[in-house]
Chains A and B, each alone.
Chain A
Amino acid sequence: MNASRLRAGGMLLKKIGSYALGIIIESTAVLVLSGLALLLMFLVKTIMK
């Protein structure tokens, strides 16, 4: 009984961890895109000056 409950708890934790990692990956992706855009904007700005 206890073992199965523990296993279920472990599974849940693993699931939450996986989702959390998913959120972090997606947020990072957006920040990377923003960084790229900043770089491009900087380049255009300096070239156009």
Chain B
Amino acid sequence: MILKPTREDLKLIAWGIGRVILGIGLIMIIPLVVALVSTEWNTVLDFLVGISSCVLFWLIIENTCYQKKDLSWSHGLVVASAGWLIAMLFGAIPHFLSGHFKAYLDACFDLMSGYTTTGLFLLQDLDHVSHGLNMWRHLLTYAGGQGIIVIALTFLFAGSSGAFKLYASEGKEEKLLPNVIRTARAIWMISLTYLVVGSIALWISLSCEGMPAGRGFLHSIWLFMGAWSTGGFAPQSLNLLYYHSLIIELITLVIFVIGSFNFALHYAVWTGKRSEIYRNIEIKSFVTTSLITTVILSIGFSKVGLYTSLGEFFRKGFYNLMSGHTTTGNQSIYSISFQHEFGFIAMWAVILAMAIGASACSTGGGFKGLRMGIFSKYLWGEIKQLVSPESSLQKVKIHHVRDIWLDDEIVKGTMLVLISYVSIYFIGGLLGIIYGYQPSVAFFDAVSAGSNTGLSASLTSPSMPSLLKVYYIFELWAGRLEFMSVFALFGMIIASIKGRRTGRK
């Protein structure tokens, strides 16, 4: 029986969402400061309006919906899924006020793309955008990478036992530490440490490559945030091609591959379980799929014959392939080049890599290495079962931080999510084809959106059909939350309509 959510339930959910929005308002202070320092007065005002709206919303909710009860599982799931949608509406305020978006829908698209660490954008005239707005674009992708809920948890939900339910509903089931608040802080510690190390490395390299120190400093932070969060935003419209630099490509490559690793893996490696770096199933799965797609890509490149040297294979091939595989979306070529210069085989190698995606509990998207690992292990186990004598029972084990025996529950959950991903990719591709785009291009961008990658074969543009924009926003959101929270939200909506008949009071 579906139970209709009570007034209390709804208030509790609203209260949680209010806290999340307050978090969004608070992180807007950083771009506000950047805009102040850069003396961009109109941008300062955009952020003032944004912050005051978030605070006002929070206060309204706090005044009307405060509850003493704690969040339950289903509340947590709905807070996460609905919270992301509302966070999108509020976060888009400075975007829209900047005057670089034709419609609020476009601004929302960019926001969702940022939060979900995708990197597709509909912003127009990026090369004339203020430092403040650029800071916001990159910061929200960095924040989204850790999880908006993780942020809220770190600062705003301390002490609540509903905290873990919130945390897990954002597509992060793993606890690094027994306490979820401490887990959230550990995630921050890892990300901030890398922020410092990575930005310094980028800053030095950018200075060596002829960038002035001031802009180099900002660019290094933005590039780091875009790469680490596997977001793929960059401050200029040419993305990584703007820098024409091997060293910058190499550093961002290292950053986004590390960024695509599981936070539990980082924590294990950092705190002494060093062997995890080669024993972990996700690493094994990632290395295998990386090398397979590299071979496919190289065959494609060799056939086309445009890129000739090994260096070009690396910088144009491997770089963009890894950017796709880690679901980052930084690109060192023009979007249209995927279609015109890569050739069919190499383009599909990138699509395949994007669909598989990064690690679970990371900043990345896609099927995730863990699920690929479980799926292939399970398949292998089934095959072994078929050929071995009936009496012997084959049990399959995977290694992810510790050894885990595969049971039907795990496999069932994995398959459900895998099928959901394939469905959203497929529907997106089909929609694109219906609108008259070339099949390869339609699938490229649909997979890119659903796996939160952000590479584009030039379908995604401000002039794309509105329905496709809305569907892509859905893909971004559902793909990032790994469906469970989204199902919960739909369940609740259905329950509040259908549940009425049960007459529960």
**Measuring CB to CB, which residues of chain A are less than 8 angstroms from any residue of chain B?**
18-19, 21-23, 25-27, 29-31, 33-34, 36-38, 40-42, 44-45, 48-49
Contact = CB atoms under 8 A, between A and B. Distances in A.
Contact of A40 (B253, B266, B277, B295): B295
Give the contact-size bracket for chain B.
20 to 34
Give the dominant DSSP class at B's interface.
helix
B498 interface: no
A41 B294 contact: yes
7 A-B pairs with the lowest CB-CB distances in the bound complex, closest first: A22-B270, A48-B302, A44-B298, A30-B257, A41-B298, A41-B313, A37-B294
Interface in B266-318: 266, 269-272, 274, 277-278, 283, 287, 290-291, 294-295, 298-299, 301-303, 310, 313-314, 317-318
Given A40-B294, A41-B317, A41-B318, A33 B257 contact: yes
B272 to A, nearest CB: 6
Contacts, number: 76
Interface in B309-366: 310, 313-314, 317-318
A41 B257 contact: no
B192 to A, nearest CB: 11
Give the dominant DSSP class at A's interface.
helix
B63 interface: no
Given A18-B272, A26-B258, A44-B299, A34 B253 contact: yes
A23 B269 CA distance: 9
B261 interface: yes
A26 B298 contact: no
A41 B193 contact: no
Contacts of B158: none
27 contacts: A18-B270, A18-B272, A19-B270, A21-B274, A22-B266, A22-B271, A23-B197, A25-B274, A25-B277, A26-B258, A26-B261, A26-B269, A27-B254, A29-B277, A29-B283, A30-B253, A30-B257, A30-B258, A33-B287, A34-B314, A37-B290, A40-B294, A41-B310, A45-B302, A45-B310, A45-B313, A48-B299
Contacts of A25: 269, 274, 277
A45 B294 CA distance: 12
B269 A36 contact: no
A25 B318 CA distance: 21
Given A25-B277, A44-B298, A38 B197 contact: no
A27 to B, nearest CB: 5
B328 to A, nearest CB: 13
